Amino acid sequence: MSYFQLSPRLKEYLKVVEEETGMPVKILGRPDLGLTGARAAFNYHPLYTVVVLNSSEPRLSEDLERSVAHEATHGYILHKLGYCRAVFTENASEDVKMKANLLFSLVEDLVVNRIIQENGFPPFGTEYLPMIKKEIEVASAGENVGEKFYSQFTSDLELEDIIMVSRYILSWGFLRYYPLSREVRLILQEFLEVYSKAYPHHYPHAARVKEIILENDVFTAQGECRAMQEIMRLWGFEGMVKAVSTKHPTY
């Protein structure tokens, strides 16, 4: 790729991912990743770990670097650790597939960000805290203002709910499972607090997902597979999607 030079640290990390999974990492650039604002994605492939970067959005090289490490780690937990991915029945619509995949990513991200942090990459990008501060502001102004803010990413109300739930879970996960500075913790705590008060139509979903994660240790493949089956039920997707591990067919 011409627009992105891999640093020695990232090269080293990708080499470990390739060795551990026995699969080459492929980094591709695309001008559009489907969801507004999406900057990078992991695409499942049985033979490769595929990382797709949004080539139309300029970003700081440290964020690009972190994104590549993050997406490649999705491949690592699937292919090496046997985490479950979503496998769909024939009657699943593209809409259900996209939403279910987002919910899988949301839970996997708790694991992926911790692994990259343990490997010397920042657990979140430079865009994250400024965004959370903005989200504190809109939540403080009430549910209507908040929903209007999140509607910039999608006009689909169910997808908007999933995005809002994922914002809560991501912050909650950082607070619960990561070593972070006091300053960062205070910002995340404030976000969770205003969120729980501001969003009576979304917080109950976030709270239920949080419970499911607490009941099933998602830092193990078995726990994640079980948690995902329950989360699929929560959204009514259970007849259309199965949580399937490539390594542990019995889950």
Which residues would be at the binding site for Zn ion (CB under 5 A)? 105, 109
CB of 11 to Zn ion, least distance (A): 21
Helix (H, G, I), strand (E, B) or coil at 242: strand
Q: Whose Cβ is closer to Zn ion: residue 65's or residue 147's?
A: 65
Q: Whose Cβ is closer to Zn ion: residue 64's or residue 194's?
A: 64
Helix (H, G, I), strand (E, B) or coil at 46: coil
CB of 179 to Zn ion, least distance (A): 20
Q: Whose Cβ is closer to Zn ion: residue 65's or residue 109's?
A: 109
CB of 112 to Zn ion, least distance (A): 5
CB of 224 to Zn ion, least distance (A): 13
Q: Whose Cβ is closer to Zn ion: residue 109's or residue 224's?
A: 109
Q: Whose Cβ is closer to Zn ion: residue 114's or residue 205's?
A: 114
Q: How far apart are CA 7 and CA 98, in angstroms?
A: 32
Amino acid at 178: Y
CB of 206 to Zn ion, least distance (A): 18
* Residue number of the CB atom closest to Zn ion: 109
